[in-house]
């Protein structure tokens, strides 16, 4: 795996199967199970070998534990951010923005002209994505199933690049 140092000593690197446990730990810390947003290990591992899938990790430095990750897929001229999670202990430090910027830059360089993502209605990340330039494209009613059977809408967002 090629690692890319960041000027602020933040370390961004490609992830693989060996990194799934670290990503799952971040996801468990970042996503409240009551909302039904997190993927399981099988879902994450199952998508990794698919064409156009990218998986990146972020660390505070080269040897620090994984602080966050992003997973996306690019096909033809579209790219979808599938997951982005930052451990709550590392939120507010710009790590999510670095991963989102990596997604956008990678999608552009791969020839994508439209970017997509979805997020649970009410998730504070809605504002993060809107500040980045994503605009609401639709709503999926009762898309997420919460821990106790409650349903939550998903908001779909897109951006033209």
List active site positions.
Answer: 118, 129
Q: How far is residue 3's CA from residue 5's CA, in Å, rounded to a whole number? A: 6
Length of the chain: 161
Q: How far is residue 106's CA from residue 41's CA, in Å, rounded to a whole number? A: 24
Does an H or E element contain 81, and which?
A: strand 78-86
Cβ-contact 78, 112 below 8 angstroms: yes
Backbone angles phi, psi at 149, to 5 degrees: 90, -5
């Amino acid at each position: 795996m090629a690692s890319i140092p960041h000027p602020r000593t933040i370390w961004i690197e490609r992830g693989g199967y060996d990194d799934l446990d670290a990503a799952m730990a971040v996801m468990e810390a970042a996503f409240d199970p009551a909302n039904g947003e997190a993927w399981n290990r099988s879902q994450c591992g199952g998508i990794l070998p698919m064409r156009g899938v990218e998986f990146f990790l972020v660390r505070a430095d080269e040897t620090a534990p994984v602080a966050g990750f992003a997973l996306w897929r690019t096909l033809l001229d579209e790219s979808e951010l599938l997951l982005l999670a930052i451990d709550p202990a590392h939120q507010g430090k710009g790590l999510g923005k670095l991963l989102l910027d990596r997604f956008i830059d990678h999608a552009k360089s791969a020839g994508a002209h439209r970017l997509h993502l979805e997020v649970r209605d009410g998730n504070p990340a809605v504002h993060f994505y809107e500040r980045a330039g994503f605009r609401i494209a639709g709503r999926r009613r009762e898309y997420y199933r919460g821990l106790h059977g409650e349903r939550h809408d998903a908001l779909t967002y897109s951006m033209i690049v």
